[in-house]
Amino acid sequence: MNWILAQCPCSGGGGVSGGIPAWIILTATFGLWLLISLIWYRKGASTMSKVGKIAIVVVLAAAVIGVVVMKKRSTSSPATQPTSQTASGLPRLVDLGSTTCVPCKMMAPILEELEKEYAGRMRVEFIDVNQNPDAAKPFGIQLIPTQVFFDASGKELWRHKGFISKEDILAKWKEFGVTFADAQTAASQPASAPVVERLAPAKADTRAKDAVCYLCDKDIDAKTLVVVKTDKGDVRLCSPHCFFIMYSCLTEDKTGFEQKVSVTDWGTGKAIPAMEATYLYGLDVKTGRPTIKAFGDKDAADKELKASGGSLIAWQIVQEKELENRCGFCDRACYPADSAKVAVGGVNTLGCCSHCALGVAARTGKDIEVHERDRLTGEEIVIKTAGGNVASLQPGTAVGWFGLRQGPDGQYVSAGCFHQGFFASPDNLKTWLEQNPLETGRLITIQRALADKMKLSPQQIQKACKMGQCAPK
């Protein structure tokens, strides 16, 4: 009886596709019972005769049931996977899914973008396995979503189960030798975004070399200058904070390293040993960033304390406070006010820059949620990942800036964390570039920024943002 009810549409699943309807089976069962009753109560028939006839009926019924069971099994088993489909003259991507499962919903905007961007160059087809099971049956899928790639002749090239990013789809086509006009641009830009790239500064950098911070490339304020003595020359930094960023990234033995460091006396402008100074530690009420002023004279520090407020602390306490907040990806020192907020596995951490924030997914192997700010307007940008891909993006127009610099060999490499950022729209990015003529790099999608981090090996992640030596530019 349980087997019979399993075919009923109201039992969940709407019956077996291609099987015998439940009402026919119930009718046949009732007819079998009626036939047995007539035989048993027929006059003039011996008990043995009745039993014999009933046995025949039961055998026939069993045969019918056996046929039904075999038919059920044959229709419920996966269909033979097709090796080819009708040739369309174009490469074809078929996504089999539904409108209810989470990864299927994540695929929807990607399919829409591909269909728009590659119209006339690639066919993109979505099959809802719930609404159109007959169309899905020839593919013999076992999991949704499943994407099936066909070449222009209709031959199946590859299939993938689960969510797959737009970039990985295009990369897979390229792997099979299928290329599209402007495919490289389409892979790195949002559907409606222009190409934004600047590989040479908009104006010459006329600043004196010793007036530029070795780490962040910002102008050095003479009152907060920090100098590190090295065998290769002096390393000049714009603030104690930039020193501790560099210090947190050093791979060398740091024993006695602080003895090489001098800071600038806030009052006199003279260089004094960093470990001997008294520091006035405060907070900028506008930005939330700490302020650090060094003094060689305790009385001068007390006077500034009464004028501006804060706390007087020694070098060791400055070091503890500066190193207490670290990036969840590269482990460099950072200020929460400057960093992206990252939630991973129920734990909150920081990303020293927007790209390192995405790198937390690569380091932990877990899904993350990133809250970053537009570098121009401060507007919040929220990214959620799933399985190493962008699952949601708010606002949907947000893009990334990948800062690049040209190395001595002529190749372009990352310009470092200080030159990366996210923007709520390409227009915001372009405005920011106008205001920062020395910045060089290119626009990339948030998905591409994440994919670049996910491709890093454990060894590469371990070395992220680490400096092998401290040397001037």
Q: Which of 10, 104, 249, 352 is catalytic?
A: 104
In a domain, 232, yes or no: yes
Q: Which of 10, 101, 216, 465 is catalytic?
A: 101
In a domain, 467, yes or no: no
Active site residue 104: yes
In a domain, 196, yes or no: no
Model confidence over 95-130: pLDDT tens digits?
Answer: 999 999 999 999 999 999 899 888 888 999 999 999
In a domain, 24, yes or no: yes
In a domain, 445, yes or no: yes
Model confidence over 393-421: pLDDT tens digits?
Answer: 999 899 999 999 988 888 899 999 999 99
pLDDT the model gives residue 49: 55
In the structure encoding, which two tokens stand for residue 77, read together? Answer: 């088993």
Residue 333 has pLDDT above 60, yes or no: yes
Quote the CA–CA distance of 389 and 106 in Å, as a whole number: 10
Residue 386 has pLDDT above 80, yes or no: yes
CB-based contact 279:244 (threshold 8 Å): no
- The tally of domains found in the chain comes to 4
On whether both 275 and 357 belong to a single domain, the answer is no
CB-based contact 91:124 (threshold 8 Å): no
In a domain, 208, yes or no: no
- For 175, how many CA atoms within 13 A lie in the half-sphere containing its CB? 9
On whether both 432 and 350 belong to a single domain, the answer is yes
On whether both 183 and 229 belong to a single domain, the answer is no
On whether both 146 and 269 belong to a single domain, the answer is no
On whether both 165 and 181 belong to a single domain, the answer is yes
On whether both 309 and 414 belong to a single domain, the answer is no
CB-based contact 282:308 (threshold 8 Å): yes
Q: What is the CATH number of the domain that holds 102?
A: 3.40.30.10
Res. 69 pLDDT band, cuts 50 70 90: very low
> Which position has the higher pLDDT, 467 or 71?
467
On whether both 381 and 304 belong to a single domain, the answer is no
Residue 48 has pLDDT above 60, yes or no: no
The per-residue pLDDT of the chain, averaged, comes to: 83
Reference 368, options 389, 396, 353; nearest CA is 389
pTM above 0.75, yes or no: no
On whether both 315 and 333 belong to a single domain, the answer is no
Angle of helix 240-249 versus helix 315-323 axis, rounded to 10: 60
In a domain, 17, yes or no: yes
On whether both 425 and 389 belong to a single domain, the answer is yes
In a domain, 408, yes or no: yes
Active site residue 101: yes
Alpha helix locations (H) across 292-387? 298-308, 315-323, 354-364
Buried b (16+ CB within 10 A) or exposed e, 298-334: eebbeebbeeeebebbebeebbebbeebbbbbbbbbb
Residue 312 has pLDDT above 80, yes or no: yes
Domain boundary among 265, 292, 323: 323
Quote the CA–CA distance of 299 and 295 in Å, as a whole number: 9
The contacts of residue 175 (CB under 8 Å, 6+ apart) are none
On whether both 110 and 141 belong to a single domain, the answer is yes
The contacts of residue 464 (CB under 8 Å, 6+ apart) are 329, 330, 356, 359, 456
Residue 439 has pLDDT above 90, yes or no: yes
On whether both 319 and 339 belong to a single domain, the answer is no
Q: Which domain holds residue 152?
A: 92-188
Strand partners, 125: 94
